Structure 1
């Protein structure tokens, strides 16, 4: 580990903390439906959408109606994307003349982008036309991100409102978030990426002459615009197969830093928005503090493991850290930091191959996802997932003090605790169940490139990434088969929407409750004790649930490595 590496990590953390309040203010304006500077240009567009769709943005919805509209919206978008991919060969915007995407791959990809997972069982530049990338996929990058933020707003209203029957209007929330937040920020980021050398063109291929005098064809496309929303919306789907390790997606250390900041920016800002919504910004800072402590702990372990390298190689006289699968222009520190950022959020973009990390270096991204990707987390999904753990934490605190627990002025009763447990239990049930199934079936065992603990880690990582809606992968798994495309597609859908519905039920239940002011017996939820309790609950639940699977995979892999055993 180097001083330069730590400067990058701590500097990145400081910038994220600095951005939290300004972005939180912007998000809070959208949460309340107030005007922003972007309304000057885009308010007529918003009104036009409402007139065209016959929507009254002032008419709010109860949690059930909010959920139904959200589910129907996403189901229609999924069907639309499936159709675009299946008809790719006959649609315009296909300069390479690519064939239609296969049935099981179209099914997997349509669900993947609908659920904000962006898992890719294909090589982007060799499978998807420009039209498929822009119309079929990028549209989801905006709308799945907007859906996540809208759902967070609904839960915020549940905590903030008193004896209310509604949690907002889904259509108004999604429209405002897309128009006044995602679109302006992505425009700025796209221009920045173009200035840094990222292509933005509708051309398919350009022929160049190499230094040796040979001719080489380089694939191009509208990369910069997709890169902007890919990161800002914590989507992660790469235009090119190697994602942000490709020099056209991520050419310089500056673009690498911009991408990492984009991944965390909105998630960090939403913590401040939550505090503002419930009338106490210290609540938001407490949540962000817990998130950043978990994040820095993960970065420390990953950076240390990658900088330490492989002792088997050291014995052969190859000194230094683990550079396998990493880009020289980024190095170990930036690669380790990126891997933790992208899995702490539900992004899934990669600038290095996680399958080539050391065992412990790969364990950290895996464990980040198994926690439910609540360490900042995906846009919207991270904060509402974290608040589910907060409900369990105040329940535990209530047991300790012998009174009905309360959080930000709302009593947390049996209904909220049961719904929170139901939502949180989705991840381990799906991850461990599908991993176990794939570890014994012939179709599942045909996927891993490696045998032994590392091969098991490849299967475990795939289902963890799918259920947690991350989308990154241990690249050694061959997932472009009917078995994995189908099963991972189901995992992504369940991991997204089987968490959302109980969460919305909690929002509706809380919105109907009276406000309960803090008293002498109330457990304080803004100080260090609360932050420690939150971290403890998260780690205990994650550790107890996933430690056996981690022991069979990356931990066994690490013990074998230090003994000099290579599988």
Structure 2
């Protein structure tokens, strides 16, 4: 009971914060005055002057080109740092240069907010790589997602798209940097290390020597969670006491992961001038979250039939792969939050989750609508909202409308491509991996299939968590997941900006008695049906062959 109360308190505090946070985000991107203008305004002017940025509105094509070119150039720059880190300063543990295929995988991973790590954090990167390359991308990547989402919302509302570089800078200076700066000090106060000293050397009672990784983790941790990045400074990620010392730090990490994604529906409602529609989307997403969380908790507390047959008590939940300082409940909550928000940080090993709890984690990433990542999540939510409106229009024989614009063939073709790219990026490589690289899977049968499917789902959804029994630092996994991460990130951004561009060019139609309102409870039902029928059923065969089959074959 105490565990459930702690979860309820956590979610209640999140609920109290997300609406004001959403209204603040809307204010930032509507260029209204904020309390940070006096400090960051002059800094932004200097950045714009140095970068030659003209604060003029772009078309959707120019906006998409600015996104794609700038992000790709940054991937190349960071790749160079990873390849030369062995020669660069701030490398007290003498970490060698990254191998080329691993370096390009890591560079794409962090630039797409995936943070998929085919290396162990403390032994794979120098302090300089962690601070200059990784933390840099942990700000720029979520800022890019926020910028694209806001541009899409502006297009839906019939407003100018804005300027990508202006939106990118404001995302960092007005939202990410202030919160991350403050929270870094909070985490340091809670015991998270922040040092440039090399690994600490400890001598055990048996006389053995132990090297304990440390470094500038506090500043890394705050933006890791706030920006829905999720990569670990150390290999164990937030299961390590240096990245997650106690229950308070665990709560704050959950809060940071949910803050921006859960606030975005309120920002959307404010920008488009329909606050009620934003609330309807938030309630729908929250309902999906509660259902999936309940399923995960139920599975973890039910335990394994084999262990139950041995008389092992599961009243405190299954503790396999869990940290005792968090327990089963907070570990299950964390696994749902990190996959629902596409963060990817872990405080428990997902490979040890029960089949149904593992299914919940995969389903969150496949849908990418149970809040989703910073900006990108709401983009997918609005995609399913438009699908719901379109299907409703077909059923009554009326041209569907969304925010006063007619949804026609061009928009639906683009949305269909967007919807189909994720299953293509997940299912095709999974089949190839199981067929040709089964030796890298640490488990045979259904669980092995789930391992491979989880890896590609995590890559396509830009989540980055994994079933860590997978032997993923090979040429096949580095190249295949690198391609999946890049396409899974930028393809939906470009196609959805094209949808917004098409709608923005249309004249608004007058709302009549026959218009399907998108700010009612009925629309919430239609939206949820679109997500579950169109989204979930797309992946259902794969889930049946993986976690569902594994659950059904468990024997006492």
3-state SS in 2 of match to 1:298: helix
Cα distance change on mapping 1:517 and 1:13 into 2, 3 Å = farther
3-state SS in 2 of match to 1:383: helix
1:421 matched to which residue of 2? 416
**1:403 maps onto 2:398 in alignment:** yes
Q: Tell me the alpha carbon deviations over residues 100-146 of structure 1, each in whole angstroms, 9 at most, x when there is no partner.
A: 01111101101101111110001000110000001111111000000
Looking at structure 1, the residues matched to 2 and 397 of structure 2 have their Cα atoms a distance apart, in angstroms, of: 49
Give the stretch that moved more between structures: 5-14 or 67-76: 5-14
Looking at structure 1, the residues matched to 241 and 36 of structure 2 have their Cα atoms a distance apart, in angstroms, of: 33
Q: Tell me the alpha carbon deviations over residues 24-46 of structure 1, each in whole angstroms, 9 at most, x when there is no partner.
A: 12111221122321222121110
Looking at structure 1, the residues matched to 510 and 272 of structure 2 have their Cα atoms a distance apart, in angstroms, of: 12
**1:347 maps onto 2:349 in alignment:** no
Structure 1 residue 319, shift from structure 2 partner: 2.0
Aligned positions of 1:124-143 closer than 5 A: 124-143=121-140
**1:145 maps onto 2:138 in alignment:** no
Aligned positions of 1:420-459 closer than 5 A: 420-441=415-436, 444-459=437-452
Q: Tell me the alpha carbon deviations over residues 155-214 of structure 1, each in whole angstroms, 9 at most, x when there is no partner.
A: 11011126xxx4110000001110111100001110110111111111121234556776
3-state SS in 1 of match to 2:201: strand
**1:378 maps onto 2:373 in alignment:** yes
* Greater than 4 Å deviation, 4+ residue runs: 209-215
**1:290 maps onto 2:284 in alignment:** yes
**1:76 maps onto 2:69 in alignment:** no
Looking at structure 2, the residues matched to 524 and 34 of structure 1 have their Cα atoms a distance apart, in angstroms, of: 29
Structure 1 residue 474, shift from structure 2 partner: 0.6
1:47 matched to which residue of 2? 45
3-state SS in 1 of match to 2:512: coil
TM-score (ref. length: structure 2): 0.98
Aligned positions of 1:498-513 closer than 5 A: 498-513=491-506
Equivalent pair of 1:348/1:470 in contact (CA under 8 Å): yes
TM-score (ref. length: structure 1): 0.96
Give the stretch that moved more between structures: 190-199 or 313-322: 313-322
**1:253 maps onto 2:253 in alignment:** no
2:60 matched to which residue of 1? 63
Cα distance change on mapping 1:335 and 1:106 into 2, 3 Å = same
1:483 matched to which residue of 2? 476
Q: Tell me the alpha carbon deviations over residues 461-507 of structure 1, each in whole angstroms, 9 at most, x when there is no partner.
A: 00111011110001111100001000000010110011111011011
1:462 matched to which residue of 2? 455
Q: Tell me the alpha carbon deviations over residues 258-282 of structure 1, each in whole angstroms, 9 at most, x when there is no partner.
A: 1011111011111101001111111
Looking at structure 1, the residues matched to 391 and 421 of structure 2 have their Cα atoms a distance apart, in angstroms, of: 21
Aligned positions of 1:293-372 closer than 5 A: 293-320=287-314, 321-371=317-367
3-state SS in 1 of match to 2:212: strand
Aligned positions of 1:155-194 closer than 5 A: 155-161=152-158, 166-194=160-188
Equivalent pair of 1:117/1:348 in contact (CA under 8 Å): yes
Aligned counterpart in structure 2 of residue 12 of structure 1, from 2, 10, 13:
10
Q: Tell me the alpha carbon deviations over residues 378-437 of structure 1, each in whole angstroms, 9 at most, x when there is no partner.
A: 000000111011110000111122211112222212211111111111101111111111
1:37 matched to which residue of 2? 35
Looking at structure 1, the residues matched to 449 and 525 of structure 2 have their Cα atoms a distance apart, in angstroms, of: 33
**1:536 maps onto 2:533 in alignment:** no
Looking at structure 2, the residues matched to 216 and 158 of structure 1 have their Cα atoms a distance apart, in angstroms, of: 56
Looking at structure 2, the residues matched to 345 and 518 of structure 1 have their Cα atoms a distance apart, in angstroms, of: 34
1:519 matched to which residue of 2? 512
Looking at structure 2, the residues matched to 266 and 517 of structure 1 have their Cα atoms a distance apart, in angstroms, of: 33
Aligned counterpart in structure 2 of residue 86 of structure 1, from 83, 86, 106:
83
3-state SS in 2 of match to 1:305: helix
Equivalent pair of 1:167/1:507 in contact (CA under 8 Å): no
Structure 1 residue 78, shift from structure 2 partner: 0.4
Looking at structure 2, the residues matched to 25 and 13 of structure 1 have their Cα atoms a distance apart, in angstroms, of: 19
Cα distance change on mapping 1:529 and 1:30 into 2, 3 Å = same
Looking at structure 1, the residues matched to 521 and 334 of structure 2 have their Cα atoms a distance apart, in angstroms, of: 28
Structure 1 residue 14, shift from structure 2 partner: 2.0
Looking at structure 2, the residues matched to 72 and 204 of structure 1 have their Cα atoms a distance apart, in angstroms, of: 37
Looking at structure 2, the residues matched to 468 and 227 of structure 1 have their Cα atoms a distance apart, in angstroms, of: 21
Looking at structure 2, the residues matched to 402 and 542 of structure 1 have their Cα atoms a distance apart, in angstroms, of: 23
Looking at structure 1, the residues matched to 267 and 369 of structure 2 have their Cα atoms a distance apart, in angstroms, of: 16
CA RMSD of aligned residues (A): 1.3
Structure 1 residue 334, shift from structure 2 partner: 0.4
**1:106 maps onto 2:103 in alignment:** yes
Q: Tell me the alpha carbon deviations over residues 24-75 of structure 1, each in whole angstroms, 9 at most, x when there is no partner.
A: 1211122112232122212111000010011121x11000000111100011
